Structure 1
Amino acid sequence: MIIGVPKEIKNNENRVAVTPAGAAAFVKNGHQVYIQKSAGLGSGFTDEDYAKVGAQLLDTIEEVYAVAEMICKVKEPIAEEYPLVKENQLIFTYFHFASSEALTKAMIASKAICLAYETVEKKDRSLPLLIPMSEVAGRMAIQEGAKYLGKPTGGRGVLLGGVAGVKPANVLIIGGGIVGTQAAKMAAGLGANVTMMDVDLQRLRYLEDIMPANVDTVISNEYNLEEAVKTADLIVGAVLIPGAKAPHLVTRSMLKLMKPGTVLVDVAVDQGGCIETCTPTTHENPIFIIDGIVHYCVANMPGAVPYTSTLALTNATLPYALQLANKGWVKAVKENEELRKGLNIVNGDVVYKGVADAFNLPLEPIRLEEEIPA
């Protein structure tokens, strides 16, 4: 198979979808790998690193899309890339379709095969290609939140861990999954008072057992949430429904209950966000303020730590990418149910319920009779 790896062009996105080690694995398995020049530089990998393992370098993103049967990316194609996607081309990346109707319609029109990292799912319902970036984003949420609690950036002027004689900050984490767990570990480690909320009582029992003494668990409902936001200094939205739009749990009216200078970090913003007033921002302009409340809503948080993020991500994605390359996508998804759940759009048909529901589109069955060459 011909593998194409374009340089990410989303604002301040420095990750790359295939490392030199990954390129070497593809070449060893008999595949051709085309890397856009400088695609790996943001993550610390030079063009020479790729050339040494047998990858071929191309000057432009247009050349990569034109030659590749499978495109490996980190983030969803943006508007400039829409015309480059070809019919029957396999695109393997994070898509988060439910948060963008424009992207969804563009990929339907392209008639490409869109296999989304975020909906590849194991039998235990875990999301193996989302977990590594959720771990990074959860930890970053606290780092960034602590930074923006500073007065120069509009925050309350609160030190997360406090000092002797001064109470630490109150951190509220909404959602007890991977993001929430990692955020709680970081916040607790820095000495904050942490409250975790989730609707799953069994998950809260587990978290109660593993978390340190400065982490409390509370069942999530509207009343409890309204009470909790009144005393929080930093609120982390960490709610995800796989492949679907996140629900708005923190509403605009709740901002009036918060203390001026409270910081909101919505980690789910690339899937629509669980904080109503959050809209996607970039690392270049990461925050905005509404009603005196600081909103940090960067849609590609792990892109700020690309070396760590790229290695964490590709450790998880490469085995699946090799299956797709070695077997072809049809055989690979037939034999691997985890990969089959990653299919979101196939040759113009929406085949993933969360995407269809988000935009009232017809949900089509996955047809795997034969593979059409790219």
Structure 2
Amino acid sequence: MLIGVPKEIKIREGRVGLTPQAVAILIEKGHKVFVEANAGVLSGFGDADYEKAGALIVPKEIAWGADIVVKVKEPLVSEYDFMQYGQIVYTFFHFPDNPELKKVVREKGVLAMPYENIEVAVGNKILRPILAAMSRVAAEIAVDVGAHYLRNPNGGSGILLQDAISVVIGYRGIAGDRAFGRLHLRTHNYGGLVIGFDRDEKVVMGLDLAGWLKQADLVICCAAKRNTAAPKIITRGMVKTMRPGSVIIDIAIDEGGCCETSIKKTTHEDPIFVEEGVIHYCVANMPGAVPRSSTPALVQASLPFLLEIASKGWGRVLEENPVLKNAAQF
């Protein structure tokens, strides 16, 4: 099959859908790969790297004309016209928080394979491997961002993470577990405290969520639900009781966020807003800030499924692979 890799156009999105190494594997399997010029530059891959792997460097419209288009983030409005009937688009879509895109994809007859819908059984758990890879990166960033915005010059209340009270919502998930672990390392042997709430947990160490939020300096929201919008766990009323200059980082903002005051998605260029006296960081593509780390992690998780789709085609792969059948849209 012909596989196209457009350059991402979301603000400050540095990731790319395929690495040169992945391109070489696809070409070895008999596929052709078109990569838009400069698509991988921010991830550390020049056009020459892709050409050496066997790809052709092409303009945007040619990359979008392939049988399978491999991206990172959801197609933006300016990309809608590039999508074609019967074309497979393999990327994050986040349909629950983007009904307009869902409508466009359906009307155009695009064959969508959302990264976030791919679920595999690992023991007695269900894992979303591609989403998980990016969730781990987002959690690493969230801890760094929290430390940054808690400083006085950045609008924060003026406290180090090692001394702060941090609350992680959804701490049993992939992102929540990573954030909780990193925060624990920062507070261990110091005066800080890390509190973890599962999505349905009511009381931790004698206090409910509202009680802990009154004391919290940093809140990292990681709770999500499969194939639906993120649950609204933190109410506006809870946020009103928080200390001025405290920080909320809503990793779940791609799915609408799990805080009622996460009222908009932000960008790496304009990452925060203040609501009820609390700093909110709601960047929808957090891993895009560290593309040299996040692109290889993304492609390592996504490539095995792409290889199967490309070798079998849409109809056969859905017949033979229930994981991809359940993930596919339209």
Instruction: Give the structure-1-normalised TM-score.
Output: 0.83
Amino acid in the other structure paired with 2:169: I
| Structure 1 residue matching 2:232: 3-state secondary structure | coil
| Structure 1 residue matching 2:57: 3-state secondary structure | strand
Measure, in 1, the Cα distance between the counterparts of 2:32 and 2:156: 50
Aligned to 1:53: 53
Measure, in 2, the Cα distance between the counterparts of 1:245 and 1:282: 20
Measure, in 1, the Cα distance between the counterparts of 2:64 and 2:256: 28
- Inter-CA distance 219–326: structure 2 relative to 1 (3 Å threshold): farther
Superposed, which structure 2 residues align to 1:183-202 within 5 Å?
Answer: 183-191=179-187, 192-199=192-199
Measure, in 2, the Cα distance between the counterparts of 1:56 and 1:261: 50
Matched, 1:63 2:70: no
Matched, 1:314 2:291: no
Contact 1:198 1:219 in 2 (8 A): no
Aligned to 1:155: 156
Aligned to 1:37: 37
| Structure 2 residue matching 1:295: 3-state secondary structure | strand
Contact 2:166 2:194 in 1 (8 A): yes
Aligned to 1:269: 253
Amino acid in the other structure paired with 1:298: V
Measure, in 2, the Cα distance between the counterparts of 1:183 and 1:117: 22
| Structure 1 residue matching 2:208: 3-state secondary structure | helix
Shift of 1:336: 1.5
Matched, 1:177 2:178: no
Amino acid in the other structure paired with 2:56: Q
| Structure 2 residue matching 1:145: 3-state secondary structure | helix
| Structure 2 residue matching 1:132: 3-state secondary structure | helix
Amino acid in the other structure paired with 2:64: Y
| Structure 2 residue matching 1:3: 3-state secondary structure | strand
Q: Can you list the C-alpha shifts for 1:54-111, whole angstroms capped at 9, x where unaligned?
A: 101102x222112x00000000000000111000000000111101122111212221
| Residues 176-185 or 120-129, more deviating | 120-129
Instruction: Select 2:204's aligned residue among 181, 198, 218.
Output: 218
Measure, in 2, the Cα distance between the counterparts of 1:48 and 1:342: 34
Shift of 1:218: 2.6
Contact 1:198 1:218 in 2 (8 A): no
Which 5+ residue runs of structure 1 have no aligned equivalent?
Answer: 162-167, 205-216, 347-374
Percent identity over the alignment? 42
Amino acid in the other structure paired with 1:27: I
Matched, 1:333 2:329: no
Instruction: Select 1:256's aligned residue among 221, 236, 240.
Output: 240
Shift of 1:333: 2.2
Contact 2:34 2:62 in 1 (8 A): no
Q: Runs in 1 of length 4+ with deviation above 6 angstroms? A: none
Instruction: Select 1:118's aligned residue among 111, 116, 119.
Output: 116
Aligned to 1:353: none
Shift of 1:200: 6.2
Tell me how many residue pairs correspond in the alignment.
321
| Structure 2 residue matching 1:190: 3-state secondary structure | helix
Amino acid in the other structure paired with 2:243: K
Aligned to 1:207: none
Which 5+ residue runs of structure 2 have no aligned equivalent?
Answer: none
